[in-house]
Amino acid sequence: NALNFVSDCATADLAEQQSSLAQQLTMEAELHHALIKGEFFLEYQPLFDFGRSGQRMAAVEALIRWRRGNGELVSPEVFIPIAEHSRLILQIGRWVMEQACRDLARLQRGGFPDLQVSINLAAPDFVNARLPSELLALTEACGIAPQHVCLEMTEGMVMKHPDKAVPVMTLLRQMGFKISLDDFGMGHSSLSRLKELPVSYLKIDRSFIRGIPHDRGDKAIIRTILDLGRHMGVPVIAEGVETDAQFGFLRQFGCTLIQGFVLGRPKGLQDLLGAAPLSGAG
């Protein structure tokens, strides 16, 4: 009968919740070990600038990878959300920042003197009031300028805690760091809030790029974001660009900052150093 059905469902739900909680705790423990055992590494995806001075690699985005002891590669889309449930995300975030700043110093010495690095932050990072001074100390220790470090924060996360995020963002900008609003278009920004955010770049979410050249709605949204950025004086980055048609559309409507598999996949530091125009210098 109906009541039995309801209680069966509730039991099934509870069992499911318990097993997913157990999985989460297991993975948290594994992530903790991964940090200690050095199972994380970074890959860097190039971002190209097609502005007036011709095509150049302006930045690389640091993307974390986890290679488990058994060789399996785990996507950050799987383990970052789990790490975000605990304080582990702060330790992972700190590891990424240290590694990325050290690697940028090597890249700058190794033939890319003006290169910037983009670092993805998780929500607990940028509501951390100590983040700006810690990052400044880190860049000083590594011998790189804050102007060469861009922090990517998703629009969704910033809009969820604007009262905590905005003061941290403001301080970071005053110190010279850049800030990019990642996955833009997915995070329900109110326009009045957006105009107050101290951001250096808007980064259009990959899901809108996917619709080019067929989806009229996606194309309209992309053109609107490009116009918005132009009128606000905030450069717009397109990510996840996979095809020549997508690339051509973006260039046609004035997007000069482009990232995606069509231009370059994430790669290791050694690969990048090997491709340096002045390689051998580092």
The gap between the terminal CA atoms of the chain, to the nearest Å, is 74
For the bound state, the minimum distance from the C-beta of residue 203 to Mg ion, rounded and expressed in Å, comes to 6
272/30 Cα distance (integer angstroms): 30
31/40 Cα distance (integer angstroms): 9
**CB neighbour list of residue 224: distance below 8 Å, 6 or more residues apart:** none
Helices 88-109, 131-142: inter-axial angle, 10-degree rounding? 30
For the bound state, the minimum distance from the C-beta of residue 129 to ligand C2E, rounded and expressed in Å, comes to 18
26 binds, among ligand C2E, Mg ion, none (CB under 5 to 8 A by kind): none
Residues that bind ligand C2E (CB under 6 A): 45, 62-64, 75-77, 80, 96, 120-122, 152, 182-183, 206, 239-242, 260-261, 266
For the bound state, the minimum distance from the C-beta of residue 179 to Mg ion, rounded and expressed in Å, comes to 12
Place of tokens 């990325």: 100
Place of tokens 């048609």: 245
For the bound state, the minimum distance from the C-beta of residue 154 to ligand C2E, rounded and expressed in Å, comes to 7
Out of 84, 103, 155, 182, the only residue in the binding site for Mg ion (CB under 5 A) is 182
For the bound state, the minimum distance from the C-beta of residue 196 to ligand C2E, rounded and expressed in Å, comes to 23
Position closest to Mg ion via CB: 152
75 binds, among Mg ion, ligand C2E, none (CB under 5 to 8 A by kind): ligand C2E
28/227 Cα distance (integer angstroms): 43
Q: Is the dihedral of CA 246, 251, 252, 255 positive or negative?
A: positive
- Among residue numbers 89 through 148, which ones bind Mg ion (CB under 5 A)? 120
For the bound state, the minimum distance from the C-beta of residue 188 to Mg ion, rounded and expressed in Å, comes to 15
For residues 107 and 241, which CB has a smaller minimum distance to ligand C2E in the complex?
Answer: 241
Helices 76-83, 88-109: inter-axial angle, 10-degree rounding? 130
260/206 Cα distance (integer angstroms): 9
76/66 Cα distance (integer angstroms): 8
155 binds, among Mg ion, ligand C2E, none (CB under 5 to 8 A by kind): none
For residues 72 and 77, which CB has a smaller minimum distance to ligand C2E in the complex?
Answer: 77
225 binds, among Mg ion, ligand C2E, none (CB under 5 to 8 A by kind): none
Verify binding: residue 183, Mg ion, rule CB under 5 A: yes
Tokens of 45: 């995806």
Site for Mg ion, rule CB under 5 A? 120, 152, 182-183
